[in-house]
Structure formats: structure tokens, C-alpha cells
């Protein structure tokens, strides 16, 4: 079976298009809490070259923890 969360995480971390990566971050808030999502968001927030994506990941992390 295909693991949809892993596909979203892979796209958020590795897609060449920042637009696609932004969309993936937007979808995370609609999923049940999952440690893999938190790990991906933490990685993006700490290490991504795109400051907009880092900010969006930080905001998503805050909303997951709220």
C-alpha cells in the first residue's frame, strides 16, 4: 500500500518547485498528528534555504502543538 503521508513529506522536503513545497506544508495541518510530519517541519524550519518555507514550517509546527 502507498503511504500518503510519506509522499507528502517527500514532496515537501525534496520537490524542485517551491510552489509545490508550499502546498505540501499547507496540507499538513489537515492531517492527524504524526511524528513524521513534525520531523519534516522541524527539518525545513531549521535547514531550508528558502526563508519563506522556513517561516511557513515554523508556523505549521506551532499550530500542530497548539
* Spatial CA neighbour of 3 closest among 48, 30, 37: 37
CB-CB contact of 61 with 41 (8 Å): yes
Q: What is the pLDDT along the chain (66 residues), one digit of tens a residue?
A: 678 899 999 999 999 999 999 999 999 888 888 999 999 999 999 999 999 999 999 999 998 877
* pLDDT score for 55: 96
* Spatial CA neighbour of 55 closest among 65, 41, 36, 34: 41
Q: Which residue has the cell 510519506?
A: 6
Q: What is the largest CA-CA distance in the chain?
A: 35
For residue 48, the SS3 value is coil
As a residue count, the chain comes to: 66
Amino acid at each position: 500500500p502507498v503511504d500518503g503521508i510519506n509522499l507528502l513529506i517527500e514532496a515537501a522536503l525534496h520537490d524542485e518547485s517551491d510552489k509545490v513545497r508550499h502546498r505540501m506544508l499547507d496540507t499538513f495541518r489537515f492531517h492527524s498528528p504524526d511524528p513524521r510530519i513534525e520531523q519534516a517541519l522541524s527539518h525545513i524550519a531549521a535547514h531550508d534555504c528558502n526563508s519563506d518555507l522556513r517561516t511557513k514550517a515554523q508556523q505549521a509546527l506551532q499550530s500542530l502543538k497548539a
